C-alpha cells in the first residue's frame, strides 16, 4: 500500500516538475509548480515528517507560490501573447543536467545503505524536543535572520520607489479599453 502511494506521489511531483521546466507559458509554469510543491508535501508525510508536510503546505504553497504568482501577474504584459517563458540553448542545458543526473543516480544505487527499518512514527515530538534542547541556538538565529530579511526586502522596494525617475506602472501595456 505504501508503495502504491509512493509511486502515485512521485509521478505527480516529477510529472508536474517536467511540465514546469518545458512549458512556454509563464502562468502555466507558476500554477503547475503549486502542484509540484503539494506532491513534495505528500512525500514528506510518507516519510514520517508530518509537521514538515504541514509547514511545506503553509509556507511554500500558501506563501511563496502566491508571491510568485503575484509577481508574474505584475510583470507580464497582457498584450504580449501567451509565449512569454522562452528558453535558449535547451540542448546544452539538457545535456548538462542529464549528465549530472546520471552520475548521481549511478552513485546512489550502488552504495550499500545501512538503513534502520523502523515503523512509521511521526517526527514532531523529536523535532520539538531538539529545537528546545539541542538546536536552540540555530532556532533563535533563524528568527533574527527572518527579521533582517523582512527589513531588507521592504527597504529594497522603498528605495526603488522613492527615486523620482522610476515609474511604478505596468510596463509597456498597450491594452485598449473599449
Partner 1 sequence: MIFSLPTFLTIGAILFALGFYNVLVRKNTISILMGIEMILNGAAINFAAFAFFTKAVGGGVMVLFIITLAALETAVALAIILSIFWINKTTFIDQASSMHD
Give, as ranges, the residues between 132 and 161 that touch partner 1 (CB under 8 A). 135, 138, 142, 145-146, 149-150, 152-154, 156-157, 159-160
Cell 543536467 belongs to 97
Q: What is the chain's length?
A: 178
Nearer to partner 1 (CB atom), residue 7 or residue 78 = 7
Sole binder of partner 1 in the list 82, 97, 132, 136 (CB under 8 A): 97
Tell me the Cα Rg of the chain: 22
Cell of 37: 510543491
**2-21 and 26-46 are packed helices; what angle lies between their axes, rounded to 10 degrees?**
160
For residue 171, state whether it binds partner 1 (rule: CB under 8 A): yes
* Least distance from partner 1 to the Cβ atom of residue 95, Å: 10
Report yes or no: 26 and 85 within 8 Å, Cβ to Cβ: yes
Nearer to partner 1 (CB atom), residue 86 or residue 178 = 86
Give, as ranges, the residues between 100 and 139 that touch partner 1 (CB under 8 A). 100-101, 104-105, 108-109, 111, 113-116, 118, 123, 126-127, 129-131, 135, 138
46's enclosing H/E stretch is helix 26-46
Alpha carbons within 13 A on the beta-carbon side of 89: 5
Report yes or no: 39 and 12 within 8 Å, Cβ to Cβ: yes
d(CA 95, CA 101): 10
* Least distance from partner 1 to the Cβ atom of residue 87, Å: 4
Nearer to partner 1 (CB atom), residue 106 or residue 178 = 106
Total of chain residues touching partner 1, rule CB under 8 A: 88
Give, as ranges, the residues between 34 and 63 that touch partner 1 (CB under 8 A). 36-37, 40, 43-44, 47-49, 51-52, 55-56, 59-60, 63
Amino acid at each position: 500500500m505504501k508503495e502504491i502511494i509512493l509511486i502515485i506521489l512521485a509521478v505527480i511531483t516529477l510529472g508536474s516538475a517536467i511540465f514546469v521546466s518545458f512549458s512556454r507559458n509563464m502562468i502555466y509554469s507558476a500554477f503547475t509548480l503549486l502542484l509540484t510543491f503539494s506532491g513534495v508535501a505528500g512525500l514528506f508525510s510518507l516519510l514520517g515528517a508530518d509537521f514538515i508536510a504541514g509547514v511545506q503546505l503553509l509556507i511554500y504553497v500558501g506563501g511563496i507560490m502566491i508571491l510568485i504568482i503575484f509577481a508574474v501577474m505584475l510583470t507580464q504584459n497582457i498584450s504580449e501573447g501567451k509565449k512569454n517563458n522562452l528558453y535558449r540553448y535547451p540542448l546544452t542545458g539538457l545535456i548538462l543536467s542529464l549528465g549530472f543526473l546520471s552520475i548521481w543516480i549511478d552513485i546512489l544505487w550502488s552504495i550499500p545503505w545501512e538503513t534502520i527499518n523502523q515503523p512509521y512514527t511521526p517526527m514532531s515530538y523529536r523535532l520539538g524536543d531538539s529545537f528546545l534542547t539541542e538546536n536552540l541556538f540555530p532556532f533563535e538565529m533563524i528568527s533574527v535572520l527572518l527579521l533582517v530579511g523582512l527589513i531588507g526586502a521592504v527597504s529594497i522596494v522603498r528605495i526603488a520607489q522613492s527615486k523620482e525617475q522610476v515609474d511604478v506602472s505596468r510596463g509597456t501595456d498597450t491594452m485598449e479599453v473599449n
